Amino acid sequence: MKETLLNKIQTRQAVVGVVGLGYVGLPLAVAFAEAGFKVVGIDVDANKVEALNQGKSYIEDVPNSQLSPLVGGSGNGRLHASTNYGDLAEVDAISICVPTPLRKTGDPDISYIINAADSIAAHGCKGKLVVLESTTYPGTTEEIIEPRLVRDGHEVGRDVFLAFSPERIDPGRTDYTIFTTPKVIGGMTEACSEIAMALYGTIVEKPVPVSSPATAEMVKLLENTFRAVNIGLVNEVALMCDKLGLDAWEVVEAAATKPYGFMPFYPGPGLGGHCIPIDPLYLSWKLRTLNYTARFIELAAEVNSHMPDYVVTKVADALNDECKSVKGSKILILGVAYKPNVSDVRESPAVDIIHLLQERGAEVQFHDPYVDDLSHEGIFLTGTPLSNELLQEADCVIVVTHHNVFDWENIAANAHLIVDTRHVIKSKGPGRVVYL
């Protein structure tokens, strides 16, 4: 079975299935289709499936011009989407790219992974390679996926092949692509690793083998924990600099001139997105089950999660200096996406900032060139077109997300009070700028 599967991969006769067609799964499906494979994408969202089969993308990193030829035309229909797991019966390899959110209790919700694994097993997995890409805690592949694939007496490494390969998609990024970003791969056996390396080697410039799926799972968590902890550190430095009357950005930029032993991270209004605020907590949860406290992770999460409170305090103090209260003030939020130049609002600190301002009685509006409406976690706001009049009428403008398309000079020229959480207002205007 191993040799048959390797030959199918080498000759591009293998059919690849991708379960979950979101920001990870769709670019992966497109990459396999462009590499010459027939690809079957599975998603529970019928609207997404219908759009994809019409060549219409809902992911910013996959333009219609790239997708459309793959679902028809010169691509001869190499990519097809479906809501039916039964369509995976004839595939040779399956990548699982489903969400792994946190529950309100702080423990991982792996129900999407369980459902995907059960559905794959129900339609036959003998002779197939199954790769989990969803970020999760170390041990998930072995503890959750493997038992479901061997229910019919299959042996991993002989009858079915299993690996973990963490996604490294960074939405909106153009300098690193799926092809140029090294991809870590951990197979359950040598045969599993060999097949997974062969498959991903067709779309990735540098596959990186590791000894086990648990190692690969830990690699992903280390990558994102590294960022979360360092962002937590620099956010606390910003709090300390505020107490000391220092400019945190000046401190960081000066420290960054050291050519070794220092990597610059910058303060901000809080963490957002699908990975950095969430992934380290998978590891923290897993370690709690082993009677160990991941102190760095939990401290960083505490610091980062309180940054929106700090921003609102800055706003309240700035308004107070002008003899105004937050209650009744017109507050304009610039940018509600979790990072620049994307439309994703998942875990965005802007949501928390808006909540806190509304609780204090502020009249909140937002403008984001990538987000038309914000209906998230109890907030229902429609974006307002940005104009000089809007800036002038606001009692306070808060810069939360620093999209490249914003004209910071014009914003500074028209707003009379700005709380800048991203240190992007450089030009002097008639108003006052308060930095984080």
Residue-wise burial string across 75-94, b where 16 or more C-beta atoms lie within 10 A, e elsewhere? beebbbbbeebebbeebbbb
Is 97 annotated in the active site? no
Catalytic residue among 97, 125, 241, 275: 275
Yes or no: say if 90 and 15 are a contact pair by the CB < 8 Å rule: yes
Yes or no: say if 393 and 374 are a contact pair by the CB < 8 Å rule: no
Cα–Cα distance measured from residue 149 to residue 129, given in angstroms and rounded to the nearest whole number: 11
Nearest to 280 by CA among 183, 347, 337, 327: 347
What is the residue type of 14? A
| 233 φ/ψ sector (left φ>0, alpha ψ -120 to 50, else beta) | alpha
Yes or no: say if 129 and 156 are a contact pair by the CB < 8 Å rule: no
DSSP 3-state of 40: strand
Q: What is the dihedral of CA 270, 272, 276, 280, to 10 degrees?
A: 70
CA torsion through residues 72, 76, 78, 82, sign: positive
Yes or no: say if 76 and 97 are a contact pair by the CB < 8 Å rule: no
Q: Which helix or strand (DSSP H or E) is residue 200 part of? A: helix 190-200
Q: Which residues contact 81 (CB under 8 A, 6 or more apart)?
A: 21, 40, 41, 42, 43, 48, 49, 52, 53
Tokens of 144: 């959750």
Yes or no: say if 167 and 219 are a contact pair by the CB < 8 Å rule: no
Q: Which residues are tagged catalytic? A: 275
